[in-house]
Amino acid sequence: LMYGHGLLLPIADIDHTDFMLILGGNPLASNGSIMTVPDVEKRLKAIQARGGKVVVVDPRRSETAAIADQHLFIRPGGDAAFLFGLLHTLFAEGLTRDSHLAVDGLEDVRAAVSEMTADAMSPRCGVPAEQIRQLARDFAAAERGVCYGRMGISTQAFGTLCHWLVQLINLVTGNLDRPGGALCTEPALDLVASTSGGSFNRWQSRVSQLPEYGGELPVSALAEEMLTPGEGQIKALITVAGNPVLSTPNGRQLDTALEGLEFMVSVDLYINETTRHADLILPSTSALENDHYDTTFNMFAVRNVTRFNRAILAKPEGALHDWEIFVGLAQAFALKTGRELKPTMPPAQMVDRGLRAGLYGDASPLKLSLETLAQYPHGLDLGPLKPNLAKRLKTFNQRVQAAPPVILADLARFAGEPSPQAGGLMLIGRRHVRSNNSWMHNFHRLVKGKPRHQLLMHPDDLLSRGLMDGQRVRVSSRVGVIEVEVMGSIEMMPGVVSLPHGWGHGRPGVRMDIATAQPGESANDLTDERALDGISGNAVLNGVPVTVAAA
Ligand SMILES: Nc1nc2c(c(=O)[nH]1)N[C@H]1C(S)=C(S)[C@@H](COP(=O)(O)OP(=O)(O)OC[C@H]3O[C@@H](n4cnc5c(=O)[nH]c(N)nc54)[C@H](O)[C@@H]3O)O[C@H]1N2
Ligand SMILES: Nc1nc2c(c(=O)[nH]1)N[C@H]1C(S)=C(S)[C@@H](COP(=O)(O)OP(=O)(O)OC[C@H]3O[C@@H](n4cnc5c(=O)[nH]c(N)nc54)[C@H](O)[C@@H]3O)O[C@H]1N2
Ligand SMILES: [Mo]
């Protein structure tokens, strides 16, 4: 909406910034996200070593918060309020800096946030107003600063507003498209250049009228589209490299819905919580048996890099790569329906074409192609991020749109949101460096060691409920109940509990011996498919109201 393309995302220039403000991201566990960043710990410490500051805003003192110069606890879901308070302070105290970019709508933004003072926003986020104001001053005072927000601020009721505000804070402090601020990666294979910007809300889901984005619907709509009778009811499903029974809100409901399908195919390596429902599983080759070029994460990397990995192991007799399975399915479909099938080329050839057509390709001195990349098995560093947004904007008038109408229209919902009540508990998630969402749990070396499935809770919250560290507790939300061990932790903000997602493998029919022997339950047995971000329909996975009592 702001830059004209769904993949044109400014990345934190972590290697050159003097001030990194992180909200709802824990790169020490996740290796960064929308910031592909090897050895993030070294890079964050380098900011500090050159006299800069790292500030983390998170309801949990995460691994990243623990090495930051400053950590602010925030009430889950309070980030839009917090960011409004920051932006208001920047405007009110004259802390803004002009951008070299052509921008539309900044005056509309200024008017829209005129009432969102730090004082007004403080009760909604639980951060003292003076701390919000001081942070705005510190951020603006830095020669080069960047505000970075990730999962924790995406999957909440005002997630879209949060990311809009992150962009605006970088923009109005002059840090957008500037070294040490936020810069768009210039990848060797540039999907921004080669695809259209994307689409939003061209059509809506059948049952809940949730908006389409890029041809996809919010996953919260998936179960209801299967369970609600009528024309257009979903009766067959293909899953590809996904385990939605564990990864999507109210996973138990989806579990039930999958059971009722007429037909299901899964392209996956495991018989897990989702694929156990499939009539047919099509296993692909594993990572060491196929070639790899990362089209996605190279687009969001903190340096311009490129690498093509050839398969290390030979493909077993009769096995198929994922792409061969897709082509086979398409051919079968074409045969059955009499439709014509467009000819396709193997992925390596597509990558070669993309490289040649790109910035470092045939028209450049580097002349990148698959053949040249073969000489660099460890990849090629194409240099630091550089300003380029002005020429890459894909908005209708080639100007940054600071105030997209769809977003401004959501401000009324924000204003009408009731103030948070004290006393209840809110559930948030967490990631671990040796896990990846719901998988990699079937490999001993990745799951051994200290258990990490527990519900983390502040000792005061344990005490007030008469609970003890290590005890089994019953956690309930609107949609479900689980039982799990609780662990007292002063990392947690009082009133907030944390549980990782992707666990809970001990279900009938799951054929993963090591994973099913692991303790832990699925956080998505508690998350609510009806709690959504009003603009995107994205699920609220963080900040779920729960109660906790002895099991
Ligand atoms: N090892 C490993 N790496 C991964 C993954 C993995 O599972 N394991 N998953 C990959 C994927 S798919 C993604 S999308 C990325 C995600 O990468 P990140 O966005 O870094 O994700 P998390 O580690 O979940 O960090 C989210 C943080 O948000 C905090 N949080 C929760 N609620 C709120 C809130 O309301 N406000 C604020 N300010 N903070 C909140 C949590 O405490 C947590 O510290 O990681 C990727 N990398
Ligand atoms: N509560 C809560 N829920 C969350 C999140 C959260 O933070 N909190 N995070 C959300 C996020 S950001 C994401 S991205 C989703 C992820 O949700 P999913 O994508 O559904 O979860 P994964 O566990 O990553 O599923 C990967 C699947 O791919 C299979 N697989 C692995 N390699 C291959 C391969 O080479 N080929 C094929 N065909 N299959 C393969 C694995 O066996 C596994 O079944 O979860 C979301 N759910
Ligand atoms: Mo993700």
CATH 2.40.40.20 fits 422-550, yes or no: yes
Residues 454 and 451: their CA atoms lie apart, in Å, by 7
Q: Is the pLDDT of residue 421 over 90?
A: no
Ligand lying nearest the CA atom of residue 247: 2
- Band (pLDDT 50/70/90 cuts) for residue 341 is confident
**CATH-assigned architecture of domain 11-187+398-412:** 3-Layer(aba) Sandwich (3.40)
pLDDT tens per residue, range 515-533: 999 999 999 999 999 999 9
CA of 58 to the centre of ligand 1 (A): 10
Q: What is the pLDDT of residue 420?
A: 78
Atom of ligand 1 nearest to the CA of 149: 19
Residues 18 and 34: their CA atoms lie apart, in Å, by 19
Residues 261 and 281: their CA atoms lie apart, in Å, by 15
Q: What is the pLDDT of residue 375?
A: 94
Ligand 1 pocket: which of 26, 28, 30 to mutate (most atoms <8 Å of CB)? 30
- Band (pLDDT 50/70/90 cuts) for residue 189 is very high
Going from N- to C-terminal start, the domains of the chain cover: 11-187+398-412, 191-343, 345-378, 422-550
In a 13 Å sphere around the CA of 44, the CA atoms on its Cβ side amount to: 26
Ligand lying nearest the CA atom of residue 244: 2
Q: Is the pLDDT of residue 445 over 90?
A: yes
Q: How far is CA 248 from CA 387, 389, 504, in A?
A: 37, 34, 13
- Band (pLDDT 50/70/90 cuts) for residue 419 is confident
CATH 3.40.640.10 fits 191-343, yes or no: no
Q: What is the pLDDT of residue 180?
A: 98
pTM for this one? 0.97
Residues 303 and 537: their CA atoms lie apart, in Å, by 32
Q: What is the pLDDT of residue 533?
A: 97
Which DSSP symbol is given to 277? G
Q: How far is CA 385 from CA 3, 116, 186, 381, in A?
A: 18, 34, 7, 11
pLDDT tens per residue, range 477-506: 999 999 999 999 999 999 999 999 999 999
- Band (pLDDT 50/70/90 cuts) for residue 197 is confident
Range list of β-strands (E), 332-445 = 380-384, 400-401, 425-428
Per-residue H/E/C for 208-247:
CCCEEECCECCHHHHHHHHHCCCCCCCCEEEEECCCHHHH
Residues 306 and 286: their CA atoms lie apart, in Å, by 22
CA of 33 to the centre of ligand 1 (A): 8
State the Cα torsion 191-153-142-174 to the nearest 10°: 50
Label residue 380 exposed, middle or buried (CB < 10 Å: 0-12, 13-18, 19+): middle
pLDDT tens per residue, range 110-133: 999 999 999 999 999 999 999 999
CA of 10 to the centre of ligand 3 (A): 17
CA of 261 to the centre of ligand 1 (A): 32
- Residue ID of nearest Cα to ligand 2 atom 10: 247
- Band (pLDDT 50/70/90 cuts) for residue 194 is confident
Atom of ligand 2 nearest to the CA of 272: 44
Q: Is the pLDDT of residue 422 over 80?
A: no
CA of 258 to the centre of ligand 1 (A): 28
CA of 430 to the centre of ligand 1 (A): 6
- Residue ID of nearest Cα to ligand 2 atom 7: 429
Tokens of 111: 């008017």
Q: What is the pLDDT of residue 535?
A: 96
Atom of ligand 2 nearest to the CA of 243: 20
Ligand 1 pocket: which of 121, 135, 428 to mutate (most atoms <8 Å of CB)? 428
Q: Is the pLDDT of residue 146 over 80?
A: yes
Tokens of 182: 């936020």
